[in-house]
Amino acid sequence: MDRMLYVAMNGANQVMLRQATNNHNLANLNTVGFRADLDTFVSSETGATEQETRVYAVRKGGAVSNKQGDIFTTGRALDIAIDREGYIAVQDTDGSEGYTRGGQFNIGPGGLLQTNSGYTVMGDGGPIAIPPHESIQIAGDGSISIKAPGGAMLEIDRIKLVKIDNDYLVKGVNGLLKEVDTPVFGDGDNAAQAPAEADASVTVTAGALESSNVSSIEALSNMITLARQYEIQIKLMKSSEENEVTATKMLNMS
Q: Is 202 helix (H, G, I), strand (E, B) or coil?
A: coil
**Does residue 209 have a pLDDT over 80?**
yes
With left for phi above 0 and alpha for psi between -120 and 50, is residue 84 left, alpha or beta?
A: left
Quick one: what percent of the chain has pLDDT higher than 70? 93
Express each pLDDT in 140-192 by its tens digit.
Answer: 999 999 998 878 889 999 999 999 988 888 898 899 999 988 777 655 567 77
**pLDDT for the residue 212:** 96
What is the pLDDT at residue 242? 75
Query: Is 245 in a helix, a strand, or coil?
Result: helix
Of the candidates 101, 96, 64, 106, the one whose C-alpha atom is nearest the C-alpha of residue 86 is 101
Partner residues linked to 145 by β-bridges: 137, 155
Q: Within 13 Å and on the Cβ side, how many CA atoms surround 65?
A: 17
Query: Quick check: pTM over 0.85?
Result: no
Q: Phi and psi dihedrals of 179, rounded to 5?
A: -90, 135
> In angstroms, what CA-CA distances link 213 with 22, 33, 94, 107, 189?
13, 7, 28, 26, 28
Confidence tier at 218 by pLDDT (50, 70, 90)? very high
Beta strands 97-100 and 153-158: pairing type?
Answer: unpaired
